[in-house]
């Protein structure tokens, strides 16, 4: 393949330095969130974790062989175990050539102290899996979260200088237009640097609650999770759900103060191309 330099054109908010490379530190997930494809393969694919020493050896190889300056940890649950994360941070922090890195975290396995250690070790970008800010919706998805703590951790990461992305899923069981609109409001108030709003796609192909529906067509769309769209009882149609998604992107990204803040941060040498890339991607998300 010729190394990481051949595939270093990701979404502009997901990389800081080039060349960068993905690294997989673990496979599987111990959690059973109903909306995640990991839950569908949990029995056949148990959690398999690499030792931090072996992961950092791979990072050193990528640095020496390809000149990699940034690592993107690709697993959906980097913070699966506190001691493991602390050892990883210690080893990454002792690299002769420092490396920037990013990861995905689960909110109920994170605290401010651990967050600080991650940032000190070079973590510059964290994707927070929030999904919804409605407690009933989260509980039905088998992902209970302390919503005030979610707000606290996102804001704490920003104070530490870490870029934040909050990820949400619309159309989970028990969702209604009201719960989704509240989640949009909370996403804005949370003030992450970026937000992404996915539509729930069925893992099993079967409704999880009476009155819910799974559409028959398998969708493959840009910037979307592939699969069959899930419509909870409280949502009348696919178009209603998609309009709520477009509304979320419009309201989050087209705020004047947000545009001014992000433009200032990207109007730097070498950043203009990323700015135009981001605008192009947003335009695609807003199309009907």
- Nearest CA-CA partner of 79 in 151, 127, 38: 127
Residue spans of the domains in the chain: they are: 4-281
Which residues are within 8 A (CB) of 107 and not within 5 positions of it... i.e. 6 or more apart?
128, 129, 130, 145, 146, 149, 150, 153
pLDDT digits (tens, 9 = 90+) for 219-254: 877 777 788 999 999 999 999 999 999 999 999 999
Least confident of 116-120, 178-182, 204-208: 204-208
pLDDT digits (tens, 9 = 90+) for 122-156: 999 999 999 999 999 999 999 999 999 999 999 99
At 78 the pLDDT is 95
267 vs 136 pLDDT, higher one:
136
Mean pLDDT of the chain: 88
Q: Are 195 and 166 in contact (CB under 8 A)?
A: yes
CB atoms within 10 A of CB 87: 16
- Nearest CA-CA partner of 135 in 177, 76, 182: 182
In the block, residue with structure tokens 């994170």: 110
Which residues are within 8 A (CB) of 14 and not within 5 positions of it... i.e. 6 or more apart?
72, 102, 125, 165
CA distance 231 to 173: 8
- Nearest CA-CA partner of 23 in 67, 68, 65: 68
Give buried/exposed letters for 104-127 (b at 16+ CB in 10 A, else e).
bbbbbbbeeebbbbbbebbbbbbb
At 176 the pLDDT is 98
pLDDT at 182 over 90: yes
Q: Which helix (H) or strand (E) holds 170?
A: strand 163-170
pLDDT at 14 over 80: no
At 34 the pLDDT is 85
Architecture of domain 4-281: Alpha-Beta Horseshoe (3.80)
Measuring CA to CA, how many Å separate 285 from each of 63, 110, 164, 171, 219?
35, 30, 20, 17, 15
Global model pTM greater than 0.85: yes
Measuring CA to CA, how many Å separate 124 from each of 44, 72, 108, 129?
34, 10, 20, 17
At 1 the pLDDT is 41
At 276 the pLDDT is 59
Q: How confident is the model at residue 18 (pLDDT cuts 50, 70, 90)?
A: confident
């Amino acid at each position: 393949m010729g190394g990481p330099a051949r595939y270093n054109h990701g979404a502009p908010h997901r990389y800081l330095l080039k060349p960068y490379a993905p690294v997989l530190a673990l496979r599987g997930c111990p959690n059973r969130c109903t909306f995640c494809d990991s839950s569908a393969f949990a029995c056949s694919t148990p959690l398999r974790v690499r030792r931090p020493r072996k992961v950092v050896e791979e990072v050193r190889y990528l640095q020496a062989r390809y000149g990699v300056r940034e690592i993107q940890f690709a697993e959906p649950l980097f913070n699966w175990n506190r001691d493991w994360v602390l050892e990883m941070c210690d080893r990454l922090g002792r690299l002769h050539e420092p490396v920037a890195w990013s990861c995905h975290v689960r909110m109920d396995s994170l605290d401010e102290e651990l967050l600080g250690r991650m940032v000190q070790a070079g973590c510059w970008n964290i994707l927070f899996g929030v999904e919804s800010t409605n407690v009933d919706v989260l509980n039905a998805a088998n992902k209970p979260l302390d919503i005030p703590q979610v707000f606290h951790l996102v804001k704490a990461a920003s104070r530490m200088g870490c870029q934040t992305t909050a990820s949400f899923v619309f159309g989970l069981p028990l969702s209604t237009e009201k719960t989704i609109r509240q989640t949009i409001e909370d996403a804005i108030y949370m003030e992450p640097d970026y937000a992404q709003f996915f539509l729930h796609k069925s893992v099993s192909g079967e409704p999880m609650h009476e009155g819910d529906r799974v559409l028959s067509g398998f969708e493959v769309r840009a910037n979307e999770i592939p699969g069959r769209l899930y419509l909870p009882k409280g949502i009348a149609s696919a178009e209603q759900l998609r309009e709520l998604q477009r509304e979320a992107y419009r309201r989050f990204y087209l705020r004047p103060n947000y545009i001014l803040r992000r433009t200032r941060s990207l109007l730097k040498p070498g950043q203009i191309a990323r700015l135009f890339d981001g605008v192009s991607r947003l335009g695609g998300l807003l199309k009907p």
